[in-house]
Amino acid sequence: MRTIRIFDTTLRDGEQSPGASMNLSEKLQVAHALADLGVDIIEAGFAVASPGDFESVREVAKSVKGSGVCSLARCVTKDIDAAAEAVKEAEQPTIHVFLATSPIHREYKLRMNMDQNVETAIEAVKYARRFCPDIEFSAEDATRTEIDHLCRVVEAVINAGAATVNIPDTVGYAAPHEMYERIRNLFERVPNIDRAVISVHNHNDLGMAAATSLAAVQAGAGQVECTINGLGERAGNCALEEIVMALKTRCDVYQAGTRIITQKLVPVSRLVASVTGLKVPRNKAVVGQNAFAHESGIHQDGMLKNPTTYEIMSPADVGFQKTDLVLGKHSGRAALADRTKMLGYDLDAETLTNLFGEFKKLADRKKNIYDEDISALIEQQMHENKGLNVPVSSGDWTFVSYDLHCCTGSEPVLTLKLRRGTQEYTKEIAGGDGPIDAVFLAVQDLTGLDISIKEYSVQSVSVGEDAQGESTVLLNKGSEIFRGHGVSTDTIEAGTLAILNAVNRMVR
């Protein structure tokens, strides 16, 4: 059994998903969760991209233990300098340099011939080696690169000192058998390939990222680059949870495994979904809400007789519970604390106290409380104060109440009451294209902020007519985007909470 290294790029490539940007506190929260999960290397960002990216990489490098920390860099001196400075305090610092090698990139993007391409790669790896011994080189668009040129580049960068060489399917173009053949070709034709770990970083444009990554493992690759929930550019990357559980469940085929603690996959998936605002589809493999749900009578009958009739993995192996825990208004703090632990959350006493108060309020409003309801309440705590280690500010706007009158064909009439510090503010408004637009106009007027809504969504957290609504909103203030999150059995209230959550981030 080989051990395949897991290189997680949620904080770099995953964050490039539109709307998924994270602040420093959120990045640190995700980074520590990834380290606890057992990720081998965390790509914390692109240090030269912005002062904020540099600070994020540096803080992750300083605080994360048990995983290597990496920064991306182009084959440019200033990029490598920034990456080296950002990761220098990591337990295992890594500089990841990349250069496109395919003919379309060489001709149209880089304006390089083959010789210049190879020489640029060599010089970058040699320069990066001055700062740390663990250098990874990526041949961008490797699957559309001529095989002879790719072999030449791989041999050259290994001789220059690259400890890992990445063969990315940058645009998700390769079929699984093509990826297998490409990796096998490298092992057969590159004489010094035994001196480096061969890695793959495959995108999901055609829905084959996990399949091509597994084909590469079969061909001899020793590292897979992936993201939680498959986040990333365009259609995303290979999903970490899928590659890990495929190797674990079908170890008879792949003869390989990872050091990932699989029981933490669902909690980490939920954390990343909460922080980025990009929700996991119900039918998502491994971590989706329906991954271990059975409605068909035939399936249910089989499950009752023997769970392996329709489940190839145990729910507990990835962090799910077999059944929802139904709680109600008579449940106590101990039962709630036990359920939060079983769901994978580690809450401090103050956060648990706040959660219990919100739980009791919810229990008075709906008959049954499901695991999804509890997770939503916890995530709301994260999006407010303690979960993100943001101190409560007297400048925060909080919701008090609303009174709304609306009907088809007429403008809504809204009275919205907010609190800031000890003072309450009320705004009456007649207008807006529906209730949420009226709420937004009222918030805009009360706060005095020049903002606009970029994106708004609401979805059901659990089941039943009394299910909670979970709202996510993206607000624009100039060129900046702020995300907000709100949960309530009242969808108008949930939308208001989401808008105020984003406004408070803006104010802070």
- Taken as a whole, the chain contains a residue count of 508
CB 84 within 8 A of CB 58: no
Closest-CA residue to 504 (of 23, 34, 59, 14): 23
pLDDT above 90: percentage of residues in the chain: 60
Band of residue 65 on the pLDDT scale cut at 50, 70, 90: very high
For residue 507, is pLDDT > 90?
no
pLDDT of residue 290: 78
Q: How far is CA 245 from the centre of its chain?
A: 18
What are 147's two structure tokens? 């095989």
CB 226 within 8 A of CB 237: yes
Scan for tokens 């996510």, then name that residue. Answer: 472
Scan for tokens 């909670």, then name that residue. Answer: 468
Stretch 440-449: mean pLDDT, rounded? 91
pLDDT of residue 294: 63
Stretch 465-484: mean pLDDT, rounded? 83
CB 377 within 8 A of CB 336: no
pLDDT of residue 296: 59
- 85 or 469: whose pLDDT is higher? 85
- 68 or 502: whose pLDDT is higher? 68
67-71, 168-172, 250-254, 373-377, range with the lowest pLDDT? 373-377
Band of residue 266 on the pLDDT scale cut at 50, 70, 90: very high
For residue 300, is pLDDT > 90?
no
Stretch 113-132: mean pLDDT, rounded? 98
pLDDT digits (tens, 9 = 90+) for 183-227: 999 999 999 999 999 999 999 999 999 999 999 999 999 999 999
pLDDT of residue 250: 96
The one-letter amino acid at 436:
I
Band of residue 467 on the pLDDT scale cut at 50, 70, 90: confident
pLDDT of residue 104: 97
Q: Under DSSP, is residue 2 helix (H, G, I), strand (E, B) or coil?
A: strand
pLDDT of residue 284: 93
Stretch 101-110: mean pLDDT, rounded? 96
pLDDT digits (tens, 9 = 90+) for 305-348: 777 887 888 888 998 876 444 567 767 787 788 778 877 788 88
What are 445's two structure tokens? 């007027």
Stretch 25-44: mean pLDDT, rounded? 97
Stretch 254-265: mean pLDDT, rounded? 97
CB 385 within 8 A of CB 391: yes
For residue 390, is pLDDT > 50?
no
Stretch 374-390: mean pLDDT, rounded? 64
As a whole number of angstroms, the distance between CA 15 and CA 22 comes to 7
For residue 3, is pLDDT > 50?
yes
pLDDT of residue 384: 61
96-110, 240-254, 321-335, range with the lowest pLDDT? 321-335
Band of residue 373 on the pLDDT scale cut at 50, 70, 90: confident
CB 174 within 8 A of CB 212: yes
- 229 or 299: whose pLDDT is higher? 229
What are 375's two structure tokens? 């997770």
Please give the domain boundaries of the chain with CATH numbers for all domains.
Answer: 2-276 (3.20.20.70), 297-388 (1.10.238), 397-507 (3.30.160.270)
For residue 393, is pLDDT > 60?
no
For residue 428, is pLDDT > 80?
yes
- 480 or 246: whose pLDDT is higher? 246
Helix ranges (DSSP H) in 106-249: 114-128, 147-160, 176-189, 209-219, 240-249
Total-model pTM: 0.76
pLDDT of residue 239: 98
pLDDT of residue 389: 37
Mean pLDDT, the chain, rounded, equals 90
For residue 22, is pLDDT > 80?
yes
H/E stretch holding 83 reads: helix 77-87
pLDDT of residue 324: 45
Band of residue 352 on the pLDDT scale cut at 50, 70, 90: confident
Stretch 234-255: mean pLDDT, rounded? 97
For residue 387, is pLDDT > 70?
no
What are 180's two structure tokens? 């297998």
